[in-house]
Amino acid sequence: MFNNILGNDNIKELLTNAVKNNKASHSYMFVGTEGIGKKLIAKEFAKMILCTDENKYCGKCKSCIEFESSNNPDFKIIEPDGNSLKIEQIREFQNKVSEKPIISNRKVYIINDSDKMTTEAQNCLLKTLEEPPEFVTIILIGSNESAFLDTIKSRCMILRFNKISDENIVKFLEENFQTKVNSQIMLEAFQGSIGKAIQLQDKQEEYEQIENVIINLEKRDKIDTLNKAEVIYKAIHSEYPTMSLATVYKALKTLEEVGLIQELNVGEGNFRYDANFKPHPHIQCVKCGKVDDIEDFFIDTLNIEANKHSNYEILSNQVYFYGICPECQKN
């Protein structure tokens, strides 16, 4: 069943018992960081539901065999079209969802990255979640729970997935890739995600260089502030004279790619880097150019609200305020 999937044992046990006791819900929402096994567990769960053997995981019945070959007509995964899941995709799903199962006595639909559904798509899906066919189980998978409408969440059993422990990730990489992790920043870059660990496991040397950058930023209390790459380079150059500006740029770019920092465009071709990756606004002094975070100012649902008031597919946002900092006010 879930033997080869790391972590979230409580969720795996809950799902196993639901199938064994014939009490699988009609709609689930799997939420958590990307790359922690949500989709893998959803597929194994679907296979158990569709198995026609009384033990519910035989691997030998027609349903299981067709599932393993990706040909089971009672199972479907819906993926985003580009950067979002569109209302047309949900309508197509609704046209098929009421059709009777062919091999099993049930059907399972996984809507992957469903937190990327447009508001219109979510409202359209709501009709099916409110009155699902008795033989259908729908599994929504996403990493951003706040992107779902409350009406959608209220119709689902929400299962919140935990990140994989560093110990389990290290063991996994050693056993499967013969990779020994020596860099703490590399572990942080994995962010509890097996998916990211697999993606980055061959970049050990690069991460040792990144760690040198981060250590020096931490020494100067600059890890939580905004800095230009050139400022960071000058700050560490005396201790690491062989480290080039190109290495600093490469390190910052890698950290951005794995989600440990974000690049901010502060205007006129100037870019700075922020280690606070949660959605939050910034404020810039119009006199000295200083940029600060605004703490405890939550904008998690801003994309959803913007979508409600426009016909745009919202991809991202950056919120800036402009003013005069306390230091400049004294002058």
Mean predicted confidence (pLDDT) in 192-219: 71
Q: Does residue 297 surpass a pLDDT of 60?
A: yes
Taking residues 224-250, report their average pLDDT: 72
Residue 287 counted as domain residue: yes
- The answer on 251 and 131 residing in a single domain is no
Residue 302 forms part of a structural domain? yes
Residues 139 and 43 in one domain: yes
Domain identity same for 63 and 139: yes
Same domain for 293 and 241: no
The SS3 assignment for 248 reads helix
Burial of 97 (0-12, 13-18, 19+ CB in 10 A): middle
> What is the spatial distance between Cα 258 and Cα 200, in angstroms, rounded to a whole number?
9
Of 140, 160, 180, which residue sits at a domain end?
A: 160
Q: Helix 87-97 crosses helix 119-130 at what angle (to 10 degrees)?
A: 20
Residue 225 has pLDDT above 60, yes or no: no
The answer to whether residue 4 sits within a structural domain is no
Q: Pick the last residue of a domain from 258, 286, 315.
A: 258
Asked whether residue 182 falls in the same domain as residue 84, the answer is no
Residues 13 and 131 in one domain: yes
pLDDT tens digits, residue range 119-143? 999 999 999 999 999 999 999 999 9
- The CATH number that applies at residue 133 is 3.40.50.300
pLDDT tens by residue, 18-60: 999 999 999 999 999 999 999 999 999 999 999 999 877 788 9
**Confidence class of residue 223 from pLDDT cuts 50, 70 and 90?**
very low
Kind and range of the H or E run holding 111: strand 107-111
Which element (helix H / strand E) includes 193? none
Could you read off the pLDDT of 146-159 as tens digits, one per residue? Answer: 999 999 999 999 99
190 and 135 together in one domain: no
Residue 179 lies in a domain: yes
d(CA 36, CA 197): 10
Q: Grade residue 224 by pLDDT with cuts at 50, 70 and 90.
A: very low
- Higher per-residue confidence, 160 vs 285: 160
Q: Confirm whether 172 is domain-assigned.
A: yes
Q: Single out the residue in 136, 160, 184 at which a domain terminates.
A: 160
Instruction: Pick from 111-115, 180-184, 306-310 the range whose average pLDDT is largest.
Output: 111-115
20 CB burial (10 A radius; 0-12, 13-18, 19+): middle
Q: How confident is the model at residue 292 (pLDDT cuts 50, 70, 90)?
A: confident
Which DSSP state fits 180?
A: P
**Distance between CA 192 and CA 163 in Å, rounded?**
5
Number of domains in the chain: 3
| Banded model confidence at residue 109, pLDDT cuts 50, 70, 90 | very high
Range of the domain at 236: 168-258
pLDDT of residue 210: 62
Q: Is the confidence at residue 65, as pLDDT, over 50?
A: yes
The total number of residues shown for the chain amounts to: 331
Query: Quick one: 155 and 231 in the same domain?
Result: no
